[in-house]
Amino acid sequence: MPTLIPAPTRIEAAGNKPKRIDEYVGRVNSETEGVSVAHMRSPSGWVEPGQTPEFDEVTVVLRGMIRVEHREGTLDVEAGQAVMTTKGEWVRYSTPGPEGAEYIAVCLPAFSPGTVHRDLG
């Protein structure tokens, strides 16, 4: 039987500025371990610590631009585009553009603070 998700849960975000994370499906809102789906809104100038997660992630940019740093360089992902990252690879997300960004993040398996492995310091 289908399961209705009546509303997301607001999750605290890492980074240098406040960022809104509304989790629809995942470990917090639906107690789902296999996948997480979250709606993100990051302000201009937001940057989070680098990470080497134990999950794959697909990010679909709805508005603005997300910068994804990785070991081989940088990708700028614009509205209407998506980026896929693979578990075990180092990445750092930021929103340097003037309007910040709005995007959907899907993690397989679901995001967990214990499996994101953020850089220290």
| Model pLDDT for residues 105-116, shown as the tens digit of each residue | 999 999 999 999
Mean confidence (pLDDT) of the chain: 97
pLDDT, residue 121, reads 64
Does residue 18 have a cis peptide bond before it, meaning omega lies within 30 degrees of 0? no
All domains in the chain, ordered by first residue:
37-116 (2.60.120.10)
| Model pLDDT for residues 19-63, shown as the tens digit of each residue | 999 999 999 999 999 999 999 999 999 999 999 999 999 999 999
Residue 17, pLDDT > 70, answer yes
DSSP of 2-29, one letter per residue? -----S-EEE---SSS--EEEEEESTTT
Share of the chain above pLDDT 70, in %: 99
Query: What letter does residue 113 receive in the DSSP assignment?
Result: H
